[in-house]
Amino acid sequence: MGPDEAGAKVKLATTRYEDLAEQLEAAKRDLLDAYADAAREGLGPEELAGGSPFTADEIARGLRERGAGPA
């Protein structure tokens, strides 16, 4: 493998990484928005945390940021 091929591999891997990071952030926003909708229907952070990648405290923080939790 020469320097050009190695550079191309690095560029491809960087692009894949950046794409996945963007997808992860979008998925996190979508999940927290879904939690906010659920909270508006009466579910609390503790209930939402079951099976979640987030703790009840993290969910509560996301709810507050979205105006769906206690102040």
DSSP state of 50: T
d(CA 16, CA 14): 5
Residue 70 reports pLDDT greater than 90 = no
Q: H helices then E strands: how many in the chain?
A: 3, 0
With beta carbons less than 8 A apart as the criterion, state whether 18 and 26 touch: no
For the whole model, what pTM was predicted?
0.81
The fraction of the chain above a pLDDT of 70, given in percent, is 97
CB–CB of 69/63 below 8 Å? yes
**Other beta carbons within 10 Å of 62:** 22
